[in-house]
Amino acid sequence: MPTTRESLLEAATSAIERRPWPVVRMVEVAARAGVSRQTLYNEFGDKAGLGQALTDHRVTVFLDGFRAFCAERGADAGSEALAEATDWIVRSARADRLVRASLTGCRCAELPPPVRPPGRLVAELRESALRALAPRARPAAFPDACETAVRLALSHLIAPPEPAPPKDPAGAPPGRSG
């Protein structure tokens, strides 16, 4: 059973999925969590405190998920696992606007502000990948490869690739006839 804090963070997450942060009301979050507004204020102090806790919680869940993903691959996984980890970062951050905004440093008016600087998050991701995936006989360039992989993932969040043009049912690219 979730704690009061967890229930409030879940309710706040649900609220920002439906509405911009500036119009989310504390009474709405409290009601959705099934607690009084006073309980919400006792837990977080004010709306800014709730926003900070929510952002920090979502980023912590993301980082824990990344560490678990890398740990599953294990030591000596090397560059193939590093590429998979890069894909994991992109997929996970695209699925969570708070995480994406935190990683990219976005000051989006629709979300609570980031609580950790993007550079710190890059360093945490790099170090997690390095600890979990580095070959025992680690090449000197592996730390740089981890840094590059994390920054490559961020570039995909900031400037996503163009979608591939649709193909016609016969499989030929559009505009070409057989």
Cβ-contact 133, 70 below 8 angstroms: yes
pLDDT in tens, the chain (178 residues): 889 999 999 999 999 999 999 999 999 999 999 999 999 999 999 999 999 999 999 999 999 999 999 999 887 677 788 999 999 999 999 999 999 999 999 888 899 998 999 999 999 999 999 888 887 766 788 889 999 999 999 999 999 888 888 877 776 666 555 4
Alpha-carbon distance 119 to 105, whole Å?
A: 9
Tell me, what's the pLDDT at 53?
97
Full 3-state SS string of 65-109: HHHHHHHHHCCCCHHHHHHHHHHHHHHHHHCCHHHHHHHHCCCCC
Tell me, what's the pLDDT at 174?
62
Domains (ranges, CATH) in the chain?
A: 1-45 (1.10.10.60), 54-158 (no CATH)
List the one residue out of 8, 109, 3, 13 whose CA is nearest residue 55: 13
Alpha-carbon distance 101 to 90, whole Å?
A: 12
Locus of tokens 């710190």? 120
Tell me, what's the pLDDT at 107?
85
pTM: 0.85
Cβ-contact 13, 33 below 8 angstroms: no
Tell me, what's the pLDDT at 67?
95
